[in-house]
Amino acid sequence: MRILRFVGRRLLQLIPVLLGVVVLTFLLVRVLPGDPIRSILGPNATEADADAARARFGLDQPIWKQFLDYLGGLVTGDFGTSIQSGASVTGEMALRLGPTLELVFIAVSIAIVLAIWLGIWSARRADTVGDHSVRIFALFGNSIPEFWLGLVLILVGYAALGWFPAPSGRVDPDTNLTPLTGADLIDALITGNGPAISSSAAHLVLPVLTLVIGVLAPLLRSVRASALEVLRSEAYAAAAAHGLPERTLLRGYLRRATLVRLPSLAALVFGTALGSTVLVEYVYSWQGFGQWALRGLLYRDYPVVQASVLIIAFAYVLVFLIADVVHAWLDPRVKI
């Protein structure tokens, strides 16, 4: 019950933030220079053509009317019509979210497992050569430009060794994969399309690896820091002084206490991954949410910009909320 009340209160707190995001995006995209209509019409269009197009997208209305229309649509889950493609933004977005979530989800999962393992390993050897190497590795991971790392992996994995497919999509079109969720590996598994399974898996390796390295570094540092804190705590010292076996200490005391921090770390890293995925998708021509949102921004496609900004903000704050709930559930000391 307390958890429900907590979630309710937090959701209420989100409303002003998200409303602020909605208003700010709506205004900024219109106030700042750039015209979505001119970019679809081409250079030879007359002023009358432009006016007609504006009327078609409702851009001739006063701004408060446009805003009310937009809000009215939002309530029913309708994000409007893309000016660039003329298609429904909700539909386009649904197609684009799958591929991106597939990438982010796989990469973040791998990074979390690796970070826990390496971080605890490193903390138990604090101030030894092994620990210092892990930390230097984490510093490298923190400092490496992901998009460049992606290119280096392409150079090695595709151009030099030829082990992985060219960075030009998510699956070989010859496999005739039926799109269901947009996440190609999952679609291939559901439809039992053998060639598509291996093709989409092969296409996933390099982009996932790129994201993992970028995401692993900050996670690793945090896991190491919180494991160190546990190791230096009195509770752990007491347990160790009682002569508990090594395995019990590691599993029952160290790993569990460190894991309690994980939800908030994962949430933070989710945000980093969302940012990185825009670059990684660009490098590998992934055609996901990031590339869609980027195109929308570049062409000032108002409905696309509004929808993608709102969805990212919503996903981000929601992930933090989930993290707090899971944290409270894992750690009995947390009062919510």
Partner 1 sequence: MASLEMLPVVSGTKDGRFAKALIYVGSGILIVAALAAIFAPLLSSWGPKEIDPSGTLAAPGGEHLLGSDGNGMDVWSRVLHAARIDLGIAVLAVALAVVVGTLLGLLAGYLGGWVDDVLMRIVDIFQAFPTFILALAVSALLGGGFFNLVITIAAVNAPAYARLVRAEVRTLREMQYIEAAKTSGASTLGIMWRHLLPNSLTPVRVIAPLNCGWAMLTLAGLSFLGLGVTVPTAEWGSMISLGTSDVVAGRWWTSVPPGLALLVCVLGFSLLGEGLQERADAKSRR
Question: What six digits make up the tokens of 321?
Answer: 């909320």
Q: Does 179 bind partner 1 (CB under 8 A)?
A: no
Window of 17-25, 55-63, 64-72, 171-179 that interacts with partner 1 by CB under 8 A = 17-25
Residue 71 binds to partner 1 (criterion: CB under 8 A):
no
Residue 28 interacts with partner 1 (CB under 8 A): yes or no: yes
Please identify which residue in 297, 326, 328, 330 interacts with partner 1, judged by CB under 8 A. Answer: 297
Q: Tell me, residue by residue from 104 to 123, as one string, x for binding to partner 1 by CB under 8 A and - for no binding.
A: -------------------x
Pick the closer one to partner 1 by CB: 4 or 160.
160
Q: Which amino acid is at 312?
A: I
First-to-last alpha carbon distance for the chain, in angstroms, is 11
Q: Kindly determine how many residues on this chain lie close enough to bind partner 1 according to the rule CB under 8 A.
A: 61
105 vs 147, which CB is nearer to partner 1? Answer: 147
Q: Specify the stretch interacting with partner 1 by CB under 8 A; choose among 82-90, 139-147, 177-185, 189-197.
A: 139-147
CB closer to partner 1, 115 vs 123: 123
Is residue 288 within 8 A of residue 100, CB to CB? The reply is yes
| Residue 252 binds to partner 1 (criterion: CB under 8 A) | no
Of residues 259-278, which lie at the interface with partner 1 (CB under 8 A)? 271-272, 274-276, 278
Concatenate the DSSP letters of all residues of 56-93 into one string.
HTTTTS-HHHHHHHHHHHHHTT---B-TTT-SBHHHHH
- Given a contact cutoff of 8 angstroms between Cβ atoms, the answer to whether 187 and 178 are in contact is yes
Distances (CA, A) of 195 to 161, 201, 259: 22, 10, 39
145 in contact with partner 1 (CB under 8 A): yes
Helices (H), 144-193: 146-154, 184-191
Residue 103 interacts with partner 1 (CB under 8 A): yes or no: no
Nearer to partner 1, 195 or 271 (CB): 271
Rule CB under 8 A: say whether 298 interacts with partner 1: yes
**Residue 278 CA: distances (Å) to CA of 198, 216, 285, 322:** 25, 17, 10, 23
The residue whose two tokens read 């209160």 is 9
Q: Give yes or no for residue 125 binding partner 1 (CB under 8 A).
A: yes
What gap in Å lies between CA 95 and CA 11, rounded to an integer? 27
- Whole-angstrom Cα distance, residue 202 to residue 208? 10
CA–CA distance, 131 with 123 (Å, rounded to integer): 7
Instruction: Annotate 308-317 with b (16+ C-beta within 10 A) or e (fewer).
Output: bbbebbebeb
Is 158 a residue that touches partner 1 (CB under 8 A)?
yes
- 59 φ/ψ angles, rounded to the nearest 5 degrees: -85, -5
Closer to partner 1 by CB, 80 or 150: give it: 150
Given the structure tokens 């210092």, which residue do they identify?
132
Which CB sits closer to partner 1, 9 or 56? 9
Q: 1 vs 31, which CB is nearer to partner 1?
A: 31
Tokens for 201, please give them: 């898996």
Q: Which is nearer to partner 1, 156 or 190 (CB)?
A: 156
The residues binding partner 1 (CB under 8 A) are 16-18, 20-21, 24, 28-29, 32-34, 123-128, 132, 135, 139-140, 142-149, 151-152, 154-155, 158-160, 166-167, 228, 231-232, 240, 246, 271-272, 274-276, 278-279, 282-283, 294, 297-298, 305, 309, 312-313, 316-317
